[in-house]
């Protein structure tokens, strides 16, 4: 990938800012847009060019990355009157790295193809830690030749796996979130058990993380729970959105996933208690209250 290739980036939240910075550090010219211009100040000081609309990002860029939260925001960024697609897009590549419905990913890819462009769905896993350390897991769906063309850019962000046609990346992310959801219950319930058994939390982690219980959540989020640190690596509100997509897709395929339904209902309790902007480790609040109610 030539270093004179002009990149655009939309979405500078918990993960997006660090991801964008990695590409800038690699020497690529960058145009940026996000809802809150204040979030862009550090990147602008480092040389990024501010754009007032997504449409302007398209005009300034050869390849555009998006990393926004809710499906309505994704649709607005791409399809609104000042969106990425509301101008000539011939020969441009769009890469959506957020998590959205596979059906929307397919719609975006089809629109891009009809207008001489390409759109890849490439959601990621790894949270704020993975974004900062450029160690994200990237799950890519779309034209394999185009994915391979932009592979050098992905390598500045983490490791990519080509999953298949458009929408396949998002389906893979749903599998990822189903695993994360179940794992998060196990980790939080284990920490609750340890507390009531009067075990030292840090010693507990040292004892079990090297065995069969070892996992990313245990390594990265369990220590935050022990420290009562519920700052978001990935927000509860966004996780509820993802679990809703996974349940909708499961139902469309005739699947019944009761564990997933349970986790979603528990996270909704967390949100309803006012913790929607906290990290997914805040599931502890719902489980702790559930235990209190049981007594």
Q: Has domain 171-294 been given CATH number 1.20.1260.10? A: no
Question: For residue 1, what pLDDT is reported?
Answer: 65
3-class secondary structure per residue, the chain: CCCCCCEEEECCCCCHHHHHHHHHHCCCCEEEECCCHHHHHHHHHCCCEECCCHHHHHHHCCEEEECCCCHHHHHHHHHCCCCCCCCCCCCCEEEECCCCCHHHHHHHHHHHHHCCCEEEECCEECHHHHHHHCCEEEEEECCHHHHHHCHHHHCCCEEEEEEECCCHHHHHHHHHHHHHHHHHHHHHHHHHHHHHCCCCHHHHHHHHCCCCCCCHHHHHCHHHHHCCCCCCCCEHHHHHHHHHHHHHHHHHCCCCCHHHHHHHHHHHHHHHHHHCCCEHHHHHHHHHHHHHHHC
Judged against a pLDDT cut of 90, whether residue 231 lies above it is answered with yes
Residue 21 has pLDDT above 90, yes or no: yes
pLDDT given at position 288:
84
Q: Given a cut of 80, is residue 110 above it in pLDDT?
A: yes
Q: What gap in Å lies between CA 165 and CA 175, rounded to an integer?
A: 16
Best CA proximity match to 17, nearest among 67, 63, 76, 73: 67
Average pLDDT, rounded, for the chain:
95
Which residue matches tokens 């979130």? 177
Q: How high is the pLDDT of residue 35?
A: 87
Parallel/antiparallel/unpaired status of strands 30-33 and 93-96: unpaired
Indicate if the pLDDT at residue 141 is higher than 50.
Answer: yes
Structure tokens at 227: 């420290």
Summarize pLDDT for 150-204 with one digit per residue, the tens: 999 999 999 999 999 999 999 999 999 999 999 999 999 999 999 999 999 999 9
Whether residue 64 contacts residue 58, with contact meaning beta carbons closer than 8 Å, is answered with: yes
In whole angstroms, give the CA distance from residue 121 to residue 95. Answer: 6
| pLDDT score for 260 | 96
Q: Please name which of 163, 167, 62, 161 lies closest in space to residue 121, comparing C-alpha atoms.
A: 167
pLDDT value, residue 58:
98
pTM above 0.85? yes
Domain ranges of the chain: 7-165, 171-294
Mean pLDDT of the 41-57 span: 96
Residue positions annotated with a catalytic role? 173
* DSSP β-ladder status, 124-125 and 136-141: antiparallel
Which has the higher per-residue pLDDT, 293 or 21? 21
For domain 7-165, say whether CATH 3.40.50.720 is its number. Answer: yes
Per-residue pLDDT at 212: 97
Assigned token pair, 172: 């893979």
- CB atoms under 10 Å from CB of 44, counted, come to 13
């Amino acid at each position: 990938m030539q270093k004179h290739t002009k990149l655009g980036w939309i979405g500078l939240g918990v993960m997006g800012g660090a991801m964008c910075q990695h590409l800038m550090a690699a020497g690529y010219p960058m145009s940026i847009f996000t809802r809150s211009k204040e979030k862009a100040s550090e990147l602008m000081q480092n040389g990024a060019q501010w754009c007032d609309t997504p449409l302007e990002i398209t005009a300034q860029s050869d390849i555009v990355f998006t990393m926004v939260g809710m499906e309505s925001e994704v649709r607005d960024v791409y399809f609104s009157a000042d969106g990425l697609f509301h101008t000539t897009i011939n020969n441009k590549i769009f890469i959506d790295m957020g998590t959205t419905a596979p059906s929307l990913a397919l719609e975006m890819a089809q629109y891009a193809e009809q207008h001489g462009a390409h759109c890849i769905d490439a959601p990621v896993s790894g949270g704020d830690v993975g974004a900062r350390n450029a160690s994200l897991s990237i799950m890519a769906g779309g034209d394999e030749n185009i994915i391979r063309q932009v592979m050098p850019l992905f390598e500045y962000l983490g490791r990519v796996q080509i999953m298949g046609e458009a929408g396949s990346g998002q389906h893979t992310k749903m599998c990822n979130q189903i695993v994360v959801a179940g794992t998060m219950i196990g980790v939080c319930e284990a920490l609750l058990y340890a507390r009531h058994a009067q075990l030292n939390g840090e010693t507990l982690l040292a004892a079990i993380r090297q065995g069969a219980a070892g996992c990313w959540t245990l390594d990265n989020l369990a220590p935050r729970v022990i420290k009562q640190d519920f700052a978001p690596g990935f927000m509860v509100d966004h996780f509820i959105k993802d679990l809703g997509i996974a349940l909708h897709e499961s139902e469309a395929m005739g699947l019944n996933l009761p564990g997933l339904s349970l986790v979603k209902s528990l996270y909704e309790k967390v949100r309803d208690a006012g913790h929607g902007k906290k990290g997914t480790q805040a599931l502890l609040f719902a489980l702790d209250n559930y235990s209190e109610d049981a007594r």
